[in-house]
Amino acid sequence: MKTLNGQLGKINTLSREILYELEKDEPSVDEISERIAMRNEFIESLDPLIESTEIESLSDLEKTNLETLFNQFMEINITIRKNLNESLTEHEINLASATKVRKAEESYTLSDNPDLSYFTNR
């Protein structure tokens, strides 16, 4: 039981570290990838622990502790997904804007009569 609690605690700690990194102005992709890989190892090691734990024999307190740790895991992961989706959307917007600027600059550079509508409609 202690091992199962310990594993869930480590998974939650790594998940919080991922979330903390995502909330930075300049998150480190390497740091996030490293934490995700470590977290996945702990998650994979849960299967044998869960199979060897007889849930029916756990006390109410032990069940409550496990439920609390699992609920924390779920809440953190929902927040991680939300932050990742927001970051992806922001990057898509930035990429679309950069593409539009590049096309406008190419049009201006390559054309005898450049289309300046991009610059006038800003």
Query: H or E stretch including 57?
Result: none
Q: What is the pLDDT of residue 33?
A: 94
Residue boundaries of the structural domains of the chain? 2-120
Tell which wins on pLDDT, 33 or 52: 33
What local confidence, expressed as pLDDT, does residue 71 receive?
97
The mean per-residue pLDDT over the stretch 69-90 comes to 94
Percent of the chain with pLDDT over 70: 88
| Structure confidence at residue 106 (pLDDT) | 77
Question: 35 burial class (0-12, 13-18, 19+ CB within 10 angstroms)?
Answer: buried
Backbone angles phi, psi at 28, to 5 degrees: -90, 115
10-31 mean pLDDT: 93
**Tokens standing for residue 104:** 């406008």
